[in-house]
Every structure is written in structure tokens, then in C-alpha cells.
Amino acid sequence: MSDKVILHYFNGRGRMESIRWLLAFAGVEFEERYLSTREDYEKLQSDGSLMFQQVPMVEIDGMKLVQTKAILQYVAEKYQLHGKNLKDRAMVNMYCEGLMDLMEMIMILPFIPNPKPKVDNIESKAKERYLPVFEKALSGAIYLVGDNVTIADVQLLECTLMLEEKLPGILADFSNVKSFQGRMLNCKAAKEFLQPGSNRKPQPDETYVKTVVEVLKLTF
């Protein structure tokens, strides 16, 4: 197995994008192998690379890791992005779970025929349930947990950008979150990741949706 970190997923955001963000903040270079056809996916299944026949899969340190949260946790632990003690890690995990719940609602939108009601639901959930939590946590604090950046901060940055793409202005009543976003965007890692030509994937387009539907044989 290669020494390189290799990401196996579609050429699009989906469940892999948070992993790309975290690797960028960890300063880890990686390569990608895109699933473009059903055969690409079946090959990974038949060679035993996918524990649950699902992607994302990441080759790292001689392992083939699956399950998005397990992958994120491994990278966060390895690169000290997971909080310095048990209680901090519990806080980090709670924030990350909430953020992932919200991001999952957004990442499935391109696969929904009439997304408007879902977008409305995301807007009210974001404003009433999620953003108030982060607004409060960031009152007088630079980071969500402790004195250093953690995976929770990286995911909050990713989530705020995703929200604003769908709902411009949604942060208007959340000034601490907006300031946090500005600080995070000023980090070298974020600046590089947001440069054109970086590993960041664009917003989902028709080609990405069509590929996912064909490769996974999704039916609606």
C-alpha cells in the first residue's frame, strides 16, 4: 500500500468534503481517485477495500478507513485537532455531530427533485437550533473549544460557507459566528484551500449528481 494519503470518492463534495477541509487544516497532502463509473465502485467492493461497501474510503497509514466520522476522528487525533483532554473532546464531538446533522441536510439537496421546502426547513433549523449554539459558544472566545483550532472550528467554517451559498445573509443576526468565519478565512490553510485550483470541490452540478446516481444506482 502506498505511503500517500489517497481519497476514494466522487469528484464532488458530498461526504468527503469535510475530510478534504480537515486534511487541508492538518497540512496533509493527498491524492484522489474518483469514482466515475459503476465499474470503479464495483472494483473497490470486489477487492475488499470497502468495509461496508460504501465510500468515502481513505487510504492512510497502511489502512483503508471508511465511515466519514471515523476518518475525521483519526485525522483530528493524529494532527492534534481534537481537543486537549477528554472533556474538550466531548465538546468537540457534540459540536461536530450537530454540524454534521446540518451539513447532511444541505448535501442531499441536489438529489431532491423539489428542494424548496427542504431549504426553508434548513433555514429555520439553522437559525433556531444550530447557529444560536455557536453564537453563544463564540461569545468572547476565539475558538469553539479551548485555545486552539479544532475539527469543530474547521467544520463550523465549512458549514457557514455551505449555508451562505444556499441562504445568503443567514449569518446577519449571528455576529460572533460571522466574525469567527472572518478569522478562520484568514488562516493560511483556509486561504489556500479556497484558492482556485485547490482540492476544494465546487458546488454540486448536474454532472456530479448524474455520476452519483449512476454509480450508486440510486432510485427515487
Which residues bind to ligand IBG, rule: CB under 6 A? 10, 14-15, 53-56, 67-68, 107-108, 212, 216
Our CB check for ligand IBG shows the closer of 90 and 108 to be: 108
Please classify residue 28 by burial: count the beta carbons closer than 10 Å to its beta carbon, then call 0-12 exposed, 13-18 middle and 19+ buried: middle
Our CB check for ligand IBG shows the closer of 154 and 184 to be: 154
Provide the 8-state DSSP code for 59.
E
Nearest CA-CA partner of 151 in 94, 86, 96: 96
- In the complex, the smallest distance separating the C-beta of residue 188 from ligand IBG, rounded to whole angstroms, is 29
Our CB check for ligand IBG shows the closer of 38 and 136 to be: 38
- In the complex, the smallest distance separating the C-beta of residue 167 from ligand IBG, rounded to whole angstroms, is 18
Distance of alpha carbon 163 from alpha carbon 146, whole angstroms: 25
- In the complex, the smallest distance separating the C-beta of residue 55 from ligand IBG, rounded to whole angstroms, is 5
Our CB check for ligand IBG shows the closer of 26 and 107 to be: 107
Q: How many CB atoms lie within 10 A of CB 157?
A: 25
Decide: helix, strand or coil at residue 34.
strand
Our CB check for ligand IBG shows the closer of 10 and 25 to be: 10
- In the complex, the smallest distance separating the C-beta of residue 118 from ligand IBG, rounded to whole angstroms, is 13
- In the complex, the smallest distance separating the C-beta of residue 143 from ligand IBG, rounded to whole angstroms, is 25
Decide: helix, strand or coil at residue 12.
coil
Tally of CA atoms within 13 A in the half-sphere of 211 that contains its CB: 18
